[in-house]
Amino acid sequence: MASQPACTRPGVDPELFHSTDRHDIVAAKAICSDCPVVRQCLLTALDERLDGIWGGTTLGERMKRSPRRFGPAPSPIVHGTRSGYQKHRNRDEEACQECKAAASAYAKQQKARQAEMAVAS
């Protein structure tokens, strides 16, 4: 006998798994946490790029977990540059010291240029 997905049990609202409300997302994930087929569900969602809560994850979480399935690998970071700092930030990761220093130096240069322009006006 096949296991029944928790989301198809009586009393479970299927709309819960496609809501953008954070409380609904938490509730949907809680239902998934007690599901006997959660792994299969997650793999299906990854393969088919499904939106909504699948396998206890949101689309965004699946994209972060398995970026190769959702597009090209991110370009490498050139450390010690302002663009390197931005790439760290875009990836939601802590920037390395070299990139932080480059971003700080750039910010100082911008302030100096603005001060020069203010004096020249």
Residue 61 shares a structural domain with residue 13: yes
Residue 90 shares a structural domain with residue 50: no
Interhelix angle 22-33/38-48, nearest 10 degrees: 130
* Domain, as residue range, for 21: 6-70
Residue 86 shares a structural domain with residue 62: no
Count up the domains in the chain and report the number.
Answer: 2
Plot region of 85 (φ>0 → left; ψ -120 to 50 → alpha; else → beta) = alpha
The verdict on residue 27 lying in a domain is: yes
Q: What local confidence, expressed as pLDDT, does residue 89 receive?
A: 85
Tens of each residue's pLDDT in the chain, 121 residues? 468 899 999 999 999 999 989 999 999 999 999 999 999 999 899 888 888 999 999 988 888 877 666 666 567 889 999 999 998 888 778 999 999 999 999 999 999 999 888 888 7
Plot region of 72 (φ>0 → left; ψ -120 to 50 → alpha; else → beta) = beta
Q: What local confidence, expressed as pLDDT, does residue 2 receive?
A: 60
Residue 55 shares a structural domain with residue 86: no
Q: What local confidence, expressed as pLDDT, does residue 93 receive?
A: 83
The verdict on residue 1 lying in a domain is: no
Q: What local confidence, expressed as pLDDT, does residue 1 receive?
A: 44
- b/e code 17-28 from CB counts within 10 Å (16+ = b): beeeeeebbebb
Residue 15 shares a structural domain with residue 49: yes
